[in-house]
Every structure is written in C-alpha cells, then in structure tokens.
Structure 1
Amino acid sequence: MVLRHLAPRGFFLCQGSARMEGNRRILSDIVASIREDAEIREVGLGRLFSCVVSKFVGLSSTLGGCEEERERQMRYKAATALELSSLAFSEDTFEASLGLSAIKSLIEVDEAGLFDINASLLITKIGRDRRVTIIGHFPFVEKLKGMAKGLWVIERRPKEGDYPEEMMEESLPSSDLVCISGTTLINHTLERVLSLCRRDAFKILLGPSTPLSSVLFDYGIDVLSGILVTSEGRLLSLVREGANFRRIKREGVVRLVSLAKDRSALWRAL
C-alpha cells in the first residue's frame, strides 16, 4: 500500500521499502514501524541542531544552511510529526535533518532494553587491537590511535589525519569494527556504507542523530548509541542558542544510552 503524507512544500513520502530507492529504504522502514502520528507541540531550529517535540522529543544534527528560524517554525508547526517526517527523504540536508528529528519524536523507545554507556568507552574497548573505520570525526578518535591495529577516519571534509570518502572502498571491507555517524541518515549515505562492510564486522551507529529504532538491526547494525532527552524545555533553548553537543551534555538535558541487537554478542566483543 502507498500512503501519501501531505507535507510542507508539497513533498510527499511513499511508504514501503520495495518502493523506495537505495539510500532511503532504511528511513522508509523506520517510518513504517511507527505506530501512531502526533501533533507537533514545538520546533526548535539552531545552527547545529534541530529539535521536534511531538509525542516524544527528537534531536538531530543540522546539516546545510537554514532560513530565518521564525519563518521555518511558522511553516512547519502546521504539520503533524508524521507529515513532517517526509522531509527526511529530501535532498536538502537542512530539511532532511528536520525530518529525521520528526521521525525520532515518534519512536517509542523501550527504556528497559537500554544501557547507560558512553559510546566512546564502548568503541575504545571493542576497537583495541582491531581494524577500525570511523565514518565521521568524533572526539574519541585520538584515544583509538595507538590502540587499534588499523584506524581509518572518513570525513567529507577531512581534517588532518582523516581520509576522504573514497577511502571507504578500501577500509570498510577490511575493518573488524565500523563506527558510523547517525548523520549518514541525513545525507543518505548509510546504505552505501553498510554495503561495503563485511557481514561479520561489528557495526555501531552513533551520535545524537541516531534513532533508537530496532529496525536498524535488520540492516546489520549491532549497537545503536544515541540519546534520550531529559529536559525538553531547556534543550529547546540550547538548540536555539546554537549550543554544541558538548554543552548540551554538560547541561544534563540528555542521557547517553545504547541499545544492542544481541547483548551477549556485545559482551563477547568487549
């Protein structure tokens, strides 16, 4: 069945993974798993993050430029969260960021299945003496240097010591551990990354943009490391102020959590 969700600017989403092209199939399946829609209660837009408050609170990194905030909020608050989620399929990465936040605001997370562990601790433990590829430059990269058997940090805009995207073709098939930024769902590169990984590689999707959806386990992800929002109002203020994630963590408005496909496999990997 094809469902049309009327969204801002006439953009629409066709649900059903068989009807979606390549990199949007994962997003389509996540949306299809959502049980019910909800009215949007608030939208927060900032230089670094977007936030949508509906049934729950969804936060995602902002990629690309943005228009004046009040104008955007007036346009998007008229939609329901499911309608707004269709923007996640947009080629405009600012819209895709907002759409992913809307999706995350509708995901009901079973908190009993979560465990509180910093992704950097998890990765440095699993990555010791293994070949590691990291998609996205994270602060824990320095800790892995000298610990991993081989380390490739892939970035669209490489910093010193990073590798360009083209290196994925070489590094991913030989990596034992692959750490992937949740922003790959925004720039529509996640499926490409996963297609280059070995089936037996341990794969972690991480960062504040990561949806805590078990659908991602069907695509070979072993661990999801993301956040739960603990203070909705304060988070909205921080997002609008342009706060970075370090400050958001320091303010105590999010909880760092992980969800494993198979906990016993995770403990074995550690």
Structure 2
Amino acid sequence: MSERADGAKRPEKAATWELYDRLIEGVPAGIAVRDYCLGTRWTYVEADCGMGVSFSCKGGAPYALKDDLRKADLRRVAGLAKSWCFEEASLGVAALNAWYSRPEMIDGLGALYDDPVELPDGTTRKLDAFGAWRPRIEEAHPDGDARVVVVGHFPHVDRIEEYAQLTVLERSCTSPLDTPDPACEYVMPLADYAFITGVTIINKTCPRLLQLAQRATAVMTGPSVVMSPVLFEYGADTLAGSVVEDPEKVSFAVKTGKGQFFGEALRMSWVSRPGC
C-alpha cells in the first residue's frame, strides 16, 4: 500500500491488461449493437442497453477491422478496447461506455450531474472538472503552491495557473504550456492533483499514469472515461465523465461534426470513490 499526500491509502496496482479484462468481462453477454460510427472527432456505439461515446483517437497499428459490428455482441466490441489500433480501441471504449456510462449504472454510486454555471460576464457555461475542483484546491493550498498535472491539453486549462503550479502533459505539444508526455515519469509522482484524460484508456497509458499518480488526488476526466468503480481500485479518486442525454443529437454531431455535443447531446456526470 502507498500513502497519498492526504494520508489516504491506496493499492499499488499498475496491472496492464487486468484493468481492461475486468471492464470487458463486466459487460454482460447477449447485448446486441444497433449502430456505431467512428467519426472524425468523436465515436459512438449504440446497443440495446444504451449509447456510449469516446474520443476518436488516431494512430497506432493499422485499422484491420472488416466486420460490420451491427448486431455484434456488445462485449465483443468492448474487447476492441485492447486493440493497438487506436481507431478500433476508440470503438471498444465507446462500447464500454454504452454499458457503464448510464444513469442506471452510476446513480447507485452517488452520481452527480452538471448544471449551468453563471460567469461574471453574465453568460453561462457547463462546469468542467477543473472549475469544480478549483475551490477545493484553493482551500487546501491558499498560497497557490498546489502542484497540478493535467494529462491532455483541455480547453481553458490555462486558468489553473491562476491558483496552482501547472504542468500540462501533451503528446502533440502546440502551446507554451505543454510538456511532452514522457515527462509523466518525472512530474506525476510529485503532483498533488492529477487530471487525466479518458483518452489514456484508449491509448493504454491509463494504468501506468494512475500508478504514477498514487500520491495525488487523481481525477479521470472527459467523455472517454469509463464510469466504472473498477477504476477506483487502480488509483482513480473521481470519474468525471458523461452520459448520453440525447442519442439522436449524439449521432448527428458525430456524423456531421455539427450540433451541440456538450450540454445537450451529452451531460457531464461525476462519481467519486467512497470517502473521497
């Protein structure tokens, strides 16, 4: 067992396929896929139990999937999450979310859902994970000395610099804020708070990043986050993912690249580890 900065204990797990196998095995057999789309930016899988989404991650091994996945077993499609072709893995994670990221599954875990937040200029926006955690970070570190590591360059991530020491880990560095993601081995063990994009589940870096963040409060964030409490056993403290609010709007947004994806098609949801 390791001890986090706040004294909490957590298991030292960095299992590779174990996390994925447990998520896949948790999807019941016999659920049929109705429709799916690997879009330019987002991916969805719709099954008899519901719809799930993920980011469309590019790269890795060549795309080799030739089968039509409609009417395929959802658990089989979820198994694509282990593929080293990241497009196939995107479909697999969306399939996992079609089962796990539903109100029927997460309400019993104490799920919270987002509401519009009024900004000083009179406009409103949906509260993201960083805005939601800001008061807690400022209260715990009033001198602004909290070390925050964010995996993935999220919109408005620069706001964290207003109240904490920020490091943004990014695979494709395009901003002065960005640090190449191999730096995770150096900066993540020193973090007080770690915000980790759900895309890491697709590209298979999630287990190692959670292990590196054992000292930190670890928040998995973004639509690709699989809303399963299994992730708590591997180091996550909060899952800040989403549920599909309107399948038709999700389908339209994924296929056309238009429409209101966040706030209408998707609704942000939160599940935290007991005691967190």
Give unmatched runs, 5+ long, in structure 1: 1-20, 66-71, 266-270
Richer in helix (by share):
1
Matched ranges for 1:1-270 at <5 A = 22-54=15-47, 55-64=49-58, 75-107=68-100, 109-112=105-108, 113-117=110-114, 118=127, 119-128=129-138, 129=144, 130-148=146-164, 150-160=165-175, 161-199=177-215, 201-243=216-258, 247-250=260-263, 252-262=264-274, 264-265=275-276
Question: For the residues of structure 1 that align with 2:197 and 2:98, how far apart are their CA atoms?
Answer: 19
* Higher strand proportion: 2
Shift of 1:168: 1.1
Q: Percent identity?
A: 27
Shift of 1:227: 0.7
Would the aligned equivalents of 2:35 and 2:70 in 1 still touch at CA under 8 Å?
yes
| CA distances 1:48-90 after superposition (whole Å, capped 9, x unpaired) | 111001111110000116xxxxxx8972214211111111111
**Distance in 2 of aligned mates of 1:172 and 1:209:** 21
Cα distance in 2 for partners of 1:58, 1:88 equals 13
Return closer, same or farther for 1:74/1:237 CA change in 2, 3 Å cut-off.
farther
Which segment is superposed worse, 32-41 or 165-174?
A: 32-41
SS in 2 for 1:132: strand
TM-score, structure 1 length as denominator?
0.80
Q: SS state of the match for residue 34, structure 1?
A: coil
Q: SS of 1:163's equivalent?
A: strand
1:22 shift after superposition: 4.6
Number of residue pairs matched by the alignment: 235
Secondary structure in 1 matching 2:252: helix
Q: Which runs of 4+ in 1 moved over 4 A?
A: none
**Cα drift, residue 249 of structure 1:** 1.3
Provide the C-alpha distance between the structure 2 equivalents of 1:132 and 1:102, rounded to a whole number of angstroms: 31
Residues 29 and 73 in structure 2, CA contact (< 8 A), matched pair in contact too: no
Contact 1:60-1:208 within 8 A present in 2 as well: yes
The whole-number CA distance in structure 1 between the counterparts of 2:135 and 2:113 is: 15
Q: Which runs of 5+ in 2 are unaligned?
A: 1-13, 60-64, 115-126, 139-143
